[in-house]
Amino acid sequence: MNTLIGKTAIVTGASSGIGYETARLFAGEGANVVLAARRQQELDKLAALIEWDGGKAIALAGDVRDEAYAKSLVELAESTFGGLDIAFNNAGTNGEMGPTPDVSLAGWQEALNVNLTGAFLGAKYQIPALQRRGGGSLIFTSTFVGYTVGMPGTAAYAASKAGVIGLMKTLAAELGPQGIRVNAILPGGTATSLAEAWVDTPEKLAFVEGLHALKRRAMPEEIARSVLYLASDASSFTTGSALLVDGGVSINRT
């Protein structure tokens, strides 16, 4: 596998779930990977696993709400691997869920700060590095929630992730002339730790699985393969796209 040979990628939210599997896949495809999330120990374990498999990775823990962290990740990519070609801004949180009148301002702001401002800060520092390279691929993780489907109790999450789609489309228009493609992946229900809050009983799990046309949730590896598509030259004419990888949850009515 060699679709990303010679490329360097930042992956945020790499300590678990979709980011973890994407970082492993990118490395397996030949990319140098900069691993980002809050837990250094988890990132170090993944870096060791990638190196064991013959790949190259470096890990730096921090919070995507921290502007200095966003800058440091790009500096690390350039100082360690000589440049940046791909960034997957994927770190995310549910924020506070529940009926909207019950959502606290702090809970609202947490979702906005991590999911939307974190994506903005990542892009702000990644873009000049991609420009120095003369092109690249910028990818965000959004969701079908609030985009194709309204789900009760998800106001902060849905608003923050819809904001990510607006950010992505703006950047795609700004950066297209410079050969930088910008897209978002919109996973359906995916079996990760973040999703546990949505399916914390067997009944809720069965309900969520049933919402999908495929009658199941995704494994994070399945989402990672679509992220690889957006990162690689296989998607060379794709930009400004909100790519649903949602098992048909957006079109299903049974």
Which residues bind to ligand NAD, rule: CB under 6 A?
13-19, 37-38, 63-65, 90-93, 114, 141, 143, 187, 189-190, 192-195, 220
Q: Sign of dihedral through CA atoms 15, 226, 65, 159? A: negative
Nearer to ligand NAD, 13 or 55 (CB): 13
- Shortest Å distance, C-beta 5 to ligand NAD: 26
Structure token digits, residue 10? 């930042």
**Cβ closest to ligand NAD, residue 133 vs residue 231:** 231
Q: Minimal distance in Å, beta carbon 225 to ligand NAD?
A: 14
Hey, what amino acid is at 46?
A: L
Query: CA torsion angle for 209, 214, 219, 224 (degrees, to 10)?
Result: -130
* Residue 157 designated active-site: yes
Q: Which of 69, 125, 147, 157 is catalytic?
A: 157
Least separation in angstroms between residue 124's CB and ligand NAD is 15
Q: Write down the residue that tokens 């679509």 correspond to.
A: 226
- The two three-digit tokens of residue 165, written as one number: 């789609």
**Which DSSP string corresponds to 102-137?**
G--HHHHHHHIIIIIIHHHHHHHHHHHHHHHHT-EE
Q: CB nearer to ligand NAD: give 55 or 220.
A: 220
Cβ 190 vs Cβ 18: under 8 Å: yes
Minimum CB–partner distance for residue 24 and ligand NAD (Å): 13
Structure token digits, residue 239:
């930009």
Packing angle between helix 118-133 and helix 67-81, nearest 10 degrees?
A: 30
Q: How far is CA 136 from the centre of its chain?
A: 16
Query: In sequence order, what are the residues at sequence separation of 6 or more whose Cβ sits closer than 8 angstroms to the Cβ of residue 237?
Result: none
Is the Cβ of residue 4 or residue 121 nearer to ligand NAD in the bound state? 121
Minimal distance, residue 179 CB to ligand NAD, in Å: 26
Return the number of the residue (116 or 133) whose C-beta is nearest ligand NAD. 116
Residues known to be catalytic:
157
